[in-house]
Structure 1
Amino acid sequence: MKAKPKKYKYLILTILVLFICISCSFTFNHIRNKSTEEISYSKFIEMVDKGDIKEVIFNKKNLTFKAISNDNKFFKVPNPNYDEFKKDMLLKNIKIGEALDISSSLYTLLTILLFIILIANMLKKHLTKISVSLKPLNKNIDVISTNKPNVKFDDIAGNKEIKEEMKEIVDFLKHPQKYLERNVKLPKGIILTGPPGTGKTLLAKAIANESNVPFIYSNGSDFMEKYVGVGASRIRNMFENARKNAPCILFIDEIDAIGGKRSSDSNDGERLQTINALLTEMDGFNSSDGVLVISATNRLDMLDSALTRSGRFDKHLTIPLPEQNDRLEILRQYAKGKPLSEEISLDILSKELIGFSGADIANLLNEANFLSVSKNKDIIDKEDLDDAFFKMVMKGHKKTITKDEEEVKLIAWHETGHALVNLLSPKGDDVNKVTIIPSSSGAGGVTITTPKKLGLYSKKYIETQIKSCYGGRIGEYLLLGTYDEITTGASQDIKTATNLIKDYISAYGMDDEYGMLNLNVLGCKDSEISERAKNMAKRLYEETFDLLSSNKHLLEAIADKLIEKETLTGEELINMIKEIDKEIQ
């Protein structure tokens, strides 16, 4: 609070001086005007003719002018304002003076001074920002001691292979001498890559904790500024800080923010200087310095090749999304301390959470716990977990609105069509759940499936995936009996199927006509394969139509049950199909 008067003292002083000057000027004018006698223009001409006037002071803009007599008296005279006035006075040997418009001059002076003050103030603020930006990065980097991260390898579920490799790095940091005696060099840098939420930062912290060394954290975006040279300065300060705390782990999260591929763009000067500074620093220390640089990115392909080459970031470790066993381990870890209902099977849940990262799983259980507490429940039941799952998958909340009966029926047949294609096809995915509960994200319903296996996909499996996409539209048709009434509900399904067909023909070498060719490498345009794609789409659509039309009784029965219950599990669907088949037999 004490700094505020200092900030404005020069501005206040300037305004005070201006006020005094203006006051003095107007006071002087007032005193001088009081001693001036007003006379008529004819009286003035009479005095001129007599030779009593020695000087005239006038300004064409003013309504009056001043006349000075031989005995130094001042007279105020109306201005005749004609062009020859000045010439006539000079011919009579009268001195002519130009009257100064004091009020106008002072106004101009005041305007200029205020403008200068404004510019000076803006420059001061601008220079202050630059000064703040140029401060060392020390204030932006956290040097975390070993008792702060508090993360060990045992605290990280899954990623067994990655953790084993990391333990080798830990052993080097803990016992460097035995490696140095054999001339083994510690990698200068490690890049951890993989989808968001897979635990890249946790692994880096665990290395620091297990090695009992400081952990220096920074984010790639911390180095990017609009002022050229600021990022490079921060890089140098960060490495200087690391050397002072060696041995240590220097972690740069989201390194793609500064380490992206360089271009010749003249507007990219700040980023170029920053990455060049990083490359220089990486070259400027060796493994014996005890500084291990670990970076994380979701986009390894976006990094500059000079950064990823050997001698800088030597190791590239990919941390994938967890598989089923890893998901089960993660669920068990995050379920600790949470009152889960006995009806919840973590084993079944782990199979349903395909595509979920560790962070997603943690968020799911936390959201379910939050919903349980908000409803004043003592335990987390299946309803809470389903609601949390729904919010994450559907990207919105359940909508509790009055629904149109015909639309609900249409959505039920649509979603049942998707589910039945998978349930009745040998290569179909496992169906975990089907719901027709609409969400605030705009989705009317969803069919959640889990692939029977991950990895390599067969030709037949991809064809089944395409058929599953077509199942929704065919379900609508079998209900309505005409294509004139079908809806836009299948638009995303059609897009997914089209992409699968394109890859099937152009990238996977599965098309009979093009065979073992990658049409993308050949530069073939989409229009060139459109005929083959059209024929394939037609064939698979007809096969899907035959499958669902021959099982329309199942489609109708399941859709009716779905309308009644709104949500059906995979187990309920399988049991229904078995019961209906028994009744038919």
Structure 2
Amino acid sequence: HIFLSLHMWSQVTVPLSHLINVLHSMKSSVGSSSSVTCTSRKHKEHAPDLDLHCTEPMWTLRELGLSDLGAQQLDELVSRVLPRLSPEEAPLALGGKTAWRTSHLSTPSFFYNKHGEDVHLFCCTSTHLNRCAYVWVQSRGFKTLRKARRMQLAHVKGVEEAKNELQEVVEFLKNPQKFTVLGGKLPKGVLLVGPPGTGKTLLARAVAGEADVPFYYASGSEFDEMFVGVGASRIRNLFREAKANAPCVIFIDELDSVGGKRIESPMHPYSRQTINQLLAEMDGFKPNEGVIIIGATNFPEALDNALIRPGRFDMQVTVPKPDVKGRTEILNWYLKKIKAKIIARGTVGFSGADLENLVNQAALKAAVDGKDMVTMKELEFAKDKILMGPERRSAEIDSKNKRITAYHESGHAIVAYYTKDAMPINKATIMPRGPSLGHVSMLPDDDRWSETRSQLLAQMDVSMGGRVAEEIIFGHEYITTGASSDFDSATKIAKMMVTRFGMCEKLGVMTYADVTAQSPETQAAVEHEIRVLLKESYERAKALLKSHAKEHKNLADALLMYETLDAKEIQLVLEGKTLETR
């Protein structure tokens, strides 16, 4: 028997009739006494009454991975494989190449389809079948963008420093002679490092778009498959096609998936083939050949040292989360006639992808409400939903708990409003969101790159305001568990002040990163100073709330009536003015 098995890894569209016709035309060369059985992973059993006169295909070439092979190539494939099926003759018949060998495979690649995908063949013996020929087309593992919508660096917002560093790469791709005449050379590889969603892929596409060159995209996780050597083969294919179309940009996303640190392991002896091939390819072309490799990772510390040494990925560009100016630029890109800086101030720590999601959530809210535009109301709603979860309007909260929550949140707001170095209030609400029954949000005027001792103490005082309010209004016996997260925040600040920032006079300017490694006496001293800071903060908040008892009551009543108050409304209430009817 001749057993023809086609293992497919790529997607294709043409029916199998071409292959069957070729087999039929070659019936005389195979011999009338032979029979052919075709199977796939979907059809493991022998097909009944199937012979070379079959016109109904068992599979499509989408399943088989042979869509790009014309009749002539299929004829060449079959004529090379079917007449010579013994393992001894196969290597000679297929050119004797050793691009891929294991103990039981011989798979030289002797041509490629139009997408550059290897067509691999190998022959082996079987206890059940005398002779066996396997044919598969290997997926490239990467995508090529040539005529996609042109992306430019001007379209990327919020990462100006990274754009400036990549501009020299663009200049090189546009005019390589400008550098070679002076004897200069550009790094072969550029490593983009930053948190998820900051625009690393967008920057890489913008570099290719700005220079108007082909862009090859590959994800590090897509190189390796279940078969040994697939990853290394895909690396070779990627670089071969890139060199043939230089100048161009190769972008490898999630580089740490393929370029992680190599380890010695008898369990995975072939695990290093892919990264070794990547290292070899990067050494195999000259810096001025016009191929720029851009890698992106969230974990640069996980990369193999050989990959980031000079001569490979030796240029590192940090792509951080945008500051308030960058967030404003990104929001202005999506929005018109809205004061984007207000939203930008309240989205500290948001990446570009987070801001895009925020705008999308706001648009969905506007559509659900039947509006034809997005306003500040929808943007605030989307921000709160992302930060604290969706509103729980269906939650049944009795009047007693609502009153406790109103005084609790008013306590935070009063302390924040009257404390000198506290951040400005943005809004206060007793609308349940996620696990919280209410919250007070505060916005800094600008991003804080460092904080003073006074600012840290103010944050602690604001955190204490909720529990202090409960104790003053309802008594010590009726305080609730609602202040647990407030105490956690205040304790963390106090601990950092004592152990990391050197802001404790008694212990001096010394850090205690690992308190457990200190002597029992030192541990006791550190704990004592933390307790002192927390107690002093609690007393300051209590004194302030007692001195503004009237304002406290007015603000709590307003929250019970309106549920949510913005900064202007809070100011009007604390000034004793009446709010307009909503």
How far, CA to CA, are the matches of 1:570 and 1:509 in structure 2? 35
What is residue 56 of structure 2 aligned with on the other side?
A: none
Instruction: In structure 2, give the amino acid aligned to 1:408.
Output: K
How far, CA to CA, are the matches of 1:474 and 1:267 in structure 2? 60
Q: What secondary structure is seen at the aligned counterpart in 2 of 1:295?
A: strand
What is residue 378 of structure 2 aligned with on the other side?
A: 384
- 1:218–1:253 Cα contact (<8 Å) kept: yes
How far, CA to CA, are the matches of 1:260 and 1:509 in structure 2? 38
What is residue 354 of structure 1 aligned with on the other side?
A: 348
What is residue 30 of structure 1 aligned with on the other side?
A: none
What is residue 440 of structure 2 aligned with on the other side?
A: 447
What is residue 155 of structure 1 aligned with on the other side?
A: 155
What is residue 423 of structure 2 aligned with on the other side?
A: 429
What is residue 399 of structure 1 aligned with on the other side?
A: 393
What is residue 251 of structure 1 aligned with on the other side?
A: 251
- The total of aligned residue pairs comes to 459
- 1:258–1:271 Cα contact (<8 Å) kept: no
Task: Report the CA distance between 1:531 and its aligned residue.
Answer: 3.1
What is residue 143 of structure 1 aligned with on the other side?
A: 144
Identify if the C-alpha distance between structure 1 residues 171 and 10 changes in structure 2 by more than 3 Å, giving closer, same or farther: closer
User: Do residues 573 (structure 1) and 574 (structure 2) align?
Assistant: no
How far, CA to CA, are the matches of 1:284 and 1:514 in structure 2? 58
Q: What secondary structure is seen at the aligned counterpart in 1 of 2:513?
A: helix
Identify if the C-alpha distance between structure 1 residues 573 and 270 changes in structure 2 by more than 3 Å, giving closer, same or farther: farther
Of residues 478, 501, 505, the one that matches 1:508 is 501
Instruction: In structure 2, give the amino acid aligned to 1:284.
Output: G
How far, CA to CA, are the matches of 1:216 and 1:269 in structure 2? 29
- 1:372–1:384 Cα contact (<8 Å) kept: yes
How far, CA to CA, are the matches of 2:574 and 2:264 in structure 1? 63
- 1:501–1:536 Cα contact (<8 Å) kept: yes
Identify if the C-alpha distance between structure 1 residues 524 and 463 changes in structure 2 by more than 3 Å, giving closer, same or farther: farther
Q: What secondary structure is seen at the aligned counterpart in 2 of 1:320?
A: coil
Of residues 528, 532, 546, the one that matches 2:529 is 532
Task: Report the CA distance between 1:569 and its aligned residue.
Answer: 1.1
**1:2-81 to 2 correspondence within 5 Å?**
6-7=38-39, 11=46
Q: What secondary structure is seen at the aligned counterpart in 2 of 1:579?
A: coil
Q: What secondary structure is seen at the aligned counterpart in 2 of 1:191?
A: strand
Identify if the C-alpha distance between structure 1 residues 9 and 321 changes in structure 2 by more than 3 Å, giving closer, same or farther: closer
Please give the TM-score of this superposition, normalised by the length of structure 1: 0.71
How far, CA to CA, are the matches of 2:275 and 2:508 in structure 1? 44
Identify if the C-alpha distance between structure 1 residues 425 and 309 changes in structure 2 by more than 3 Å, giving closer, same or farther: farther
Task: Report the CA distance between 1:524 and its aligned residue.
Answer: 3.2
What is residue 543 of structure 1 aligned with on the other side?
A: 540
What is residue 482 of structure 2 aligned with on the other side?
A: 489
What is residue 68 of structure 1 aligned with on the other side?
A: none
- 2:38–2:46 Cα contact (<8 Å) kept: no
What is residue 217 of structure 1 aligned with on the other side?
A: 217
What is residue 188 of structure 2 aligned with on the other side?
A: 188
Task: Report the CA distance between 1:276 and its aligned residue.
Answer: 3.3
What is residue 555 of structure 1 aligned with on the other side?
A: 552
What is residue 365 of structure 1 aligned with on the other side?
A: 359
How far, CA to CA, are the matches of 1:257 and 1:311 in structure 2? 21
Q: What secondary structure is seen at the aligned counterpart in 2 of 1:434?
A: strand
Task: Report the CA distance between 1:428 and its aligned residue.
Answer: 0.9
- 1:226–1:270 Cα contact (<8 Å) kept: no
What is residue 175 of structure 2 aligned with on the other side?
A: 175
Q: What secondary structure is seen at the aligned counterpart in 1 of 2:306?
A: helix
How far, CA to CA, are the matches of 1:494 and 1:469 in structure 2? 7
Instruction: In structure 2, give the amino acid aligned to 1:307.
Output: L
How far, CA to CA, are the matches of 2:38 and 2:214 in structure 1? 42
Identify if the C-alpha distance between structure 1 residues 212 and 519 changes in structure 2 by more than 3 Å, giving closer, same or farther: same
Q: What secondary structure is seen at the aligned counterpart in 2 of 1:433?
A: strand
What is residue 301 of structure 1 aligned with on the other side?
A: 301
Instruction: In structure 1, give the amino acid aligned to 2:556.
Output: A
What root-mean-square deviation, in Å, do the aligned CA atoms of Structure 1 and Structure 2 show? 3.3
Instruction: In structure 2, give the amino acid aligned to 1:193.
Output: V
How far, CA to CA, are the matches of 1:10 and 1:195 in structure 2? 49
> Quick one: percent identity of the two aligned structures?
36
User: Do residues 232 (structure 1) and 232 (structure 2) align?
Assistant: yes
Q: Tell which deviates more after alignment, 3-12 or 295-304.
A: 3-12
Identify if the C-alpha distance between structure 1 residues 522 and 334 changes in structure 2 by more than 3 Å, giving closer, same or farther: same
Identify if the C-alpha distance between structure 1 residues 252 and 398 changes in structure 2 by more than 3 Å, giving closer, same or farther: farther
Identify if the C-alpha distance between structure 1 residues 349 and 231 changes in structure 2 by more than 3 Å, giving closer, same or farther: same
Instruction: In structure 2, give the amino acid aligned to 1:550.
Output: S
Q: Deviations over 1:302-324 (max 9, x none)?
A: 33333333322222222222222
Q: Deviations over 1:139-169 (max 9, x none)?
A: x311111x31421122222322322222221
User: Do residues 323 (structure 1) and 316 (structure 2) align?
Assistant: no
| Higher Rg of the two aligned structures | 1
Instruction: In structure 2, give the amino acid aligned to 1:233.
Output: S
Task: Report the CA distance between 1:236 and its aligned residue.
Answer: 3.1
Q: What secondary structure is seen at the aligned counterpart in 2 of 1:455?
A: coil
Task: Report the CA distance between 1:506 and its aligned residue.
Answer: 2.1
How far, CA to CA, are the matches of 1:144 and 1:2 in structure 2? 29
The structure richer in helix per residue is: 1
How far, CA to CA, are the matches of 2:413 and 2:511 in structure 1? 32
Q: Deviations over 1:419-449 (max 9, x none)?
A: 333222222112212222113x322222222
Q: Deviations over 1:476-514 (max 9, x none)?
A: 3233211x4333322222223333233222222222233
Of residues 407, 410, 413, the one that matches 1:419 is 413
Segments of structure 2 that go 5 or more residues without pairing to the other structure are: 1-14, 21-36, 50-126
What is residue 54 of structure 2 aligned with on the other side?
A: none
Task: Report the CA distance between 1:330 and its aligned residue.
Answer: 1.6
Q: What secondary structure is seen at the aligned counterpart in 2 of 1:294?
A: strand
How far, CA to CA, are the matches of 2:366 and 2:320 in structure 1? 31
Instruction: In structure 2, give the amino acid aligned to 1:141.
Output: F
How far, CA to CA, are the matches of 1:562 and 1:297 in structure 2? 46
Q: Deviations over 1:323-353 (max 9, x none)?
A: 22222222221125xxx7xxx5334333333
Identify if the C-alpha distance between structure 1 residues 183 and 395 changes in structure 2 by more than 3 Å, giving closer, same or farther: farther
Instruction: In structure 2, give the amino acid aligned to 1:504.
Output: M
Task: Report the CA distance between 1:538 and its aligned residue.
Answer: 2.2
Q: What secondary structure is seen at the aligned counterpart in 2 of 1:172?
A: helix
How far, CA to CA, are the matches of 1:276 and 1:577 in structure 2? 68
Task: Report the CA distance between 1:215 and its aligned residue.
Answer: 0.8
Identify if the C-alpha distance between structure 1 residues 12 and 369 changes in structure 2 by more than 3 Å, giving closer, same or farther: closer
Q: What secondary structure is seen at the aligned counterpart in 1 of 2:296?
A: strand
How far, CA to CA, are the matches of 2:271 and 2:542 in structure 1? 56
